Structure 1
Amino acid sequence: MAYEGGQTTCPRCGESILEARYDLEALRESNWAEQLVTRKPGVWRYHELLPVLNTRHITSLGEGGTPLLKAENLGVMLGLKNLYIKDERQGPTGSFKDRQASVAISVLREVGVTEAVVASTGNVAIAYAAYAARAGIKLWAFLTSQAPSEKMREAALYGAEVIKVTGTYDQTKAVAAKFAQSKNVFLDRGVKTIAAIESMKTMGYEIAEDLGWRAPDWFIQGVSGGMGPIGLVKGFE
């Protein structure tokens, strides 16, 4: 089934970065926070605050629920008494992109998309390949030639069609977009995709929950497109 469209810009202002809205008041009245105690760790522990309407469409490999480790020795070196590291290496494919892939692929599954295109420098391609395989979705993964060959092989092992693009990441995204348009196939838009931003909130929820429902004073993360901090801040809010 080809992708038939979908809202990718605001109908009023034309903005390409969209934001999900939830009935937070109804959630508070349902004693949602108390219900969390009975749920197992993971991204879908917070499913009411993720953009999937029916939980039967959830595609999961056990992502999320990663440990928040107190870095005592590093903290001493830096003069910080309460320094923590959120260890996202514990995900199914070894990066925080597993959160993104789980939510994004679940949304595609819910709306009936069976073929998708993604551009990547490595981790996104691997994560999407794993979750697409789980959901039975064909994935075309365009990777910049600057990506390690090991990452290309790993994505291919999950069954993705891997296309190596000689050029920068921006050039790779342009090639992927042109390909998706020519085949009328869904193109994942990364940081501009609702599912991607919403998935990163769960990292913020987990950190706050582990700290007794308190947000940290500071959060530091190395970024490329900035998706992690954008979503995480939304979670802290």
Structure 2
Amino acid sequence: MASLSVFADLVASLADLLDPLCHDSATAAAIVVFTALVRLLVLPLSLAAARGQRARARLAPQIAALRTKHRKDPAALQRALTALHAEHQVSPLSGCLPSLLQLPAFFLLYHLFSSGSIGGEPNALLGHTLLGVPLGGRWHEALAEGGPFGAPGLVYLALFLLVAAVATASLRRTRRGMAASGPLLPAGEDGRPAPGLGALTRVLPLMSFLTLISVAVLPLAAALYVVTSTTWSAVERAVLYREREQPEARAEGAAA
């Protein structure tokens, strides 16, 4: 695959640039830098998604009223919601674009560190390491080598702890946001959320913990991409959330 060879050359070039600083872990550092570059490329879309989220939050009372008004007519509700979003130039799907555009980069990285050969030649990148742990290796191999507290196991343990900390912070922020914006679930005929959707809103904030499974089953190189991107997302949301709170706080102070 030609694209895989080009991507391998890109990773190798980044590793060469970082070698004076990172030495044997230069390729791992190159993956982190590559992930950051990808996130910078989709940053305009992330900012647009944040603006869309703020716009949807402002429309929350109108959306709730429409769902109450049309709770017996799903088709009319859908038409009314579409018209409302079009009137305010809000796309319900804008928040998905940053994640979707990252998928090709992730799959290339996964394939690169899962393939034994590139262009008919042995894949030399599989021998590169992070603190002595092969970037093409997986957690179960680290456990077999030295157990959870052996040198390879400790590298994974550090990643697990980082993911858990980021996921916990994201969970708390998501719950605060949901509490502030109120429920936006479709209402049934009695005005209550449709059966099963209440449980769904409780489960969705926990999805960030699925990154732990990714770290456990993916090649270490791909796990580094996922951990770096997840951490970036958490920091990005925290900054955007703080920027959103500041004008709201000033508005409340002026009203008082």
Higher relative contact order (CA 8 A, sep 6+): 2
Q: Which has the larger radius of gyration?
A: 2
- Structure showing the higher strand proportion among its residues: 1
Give TM-score, length-normalised by structure 2. 0.25
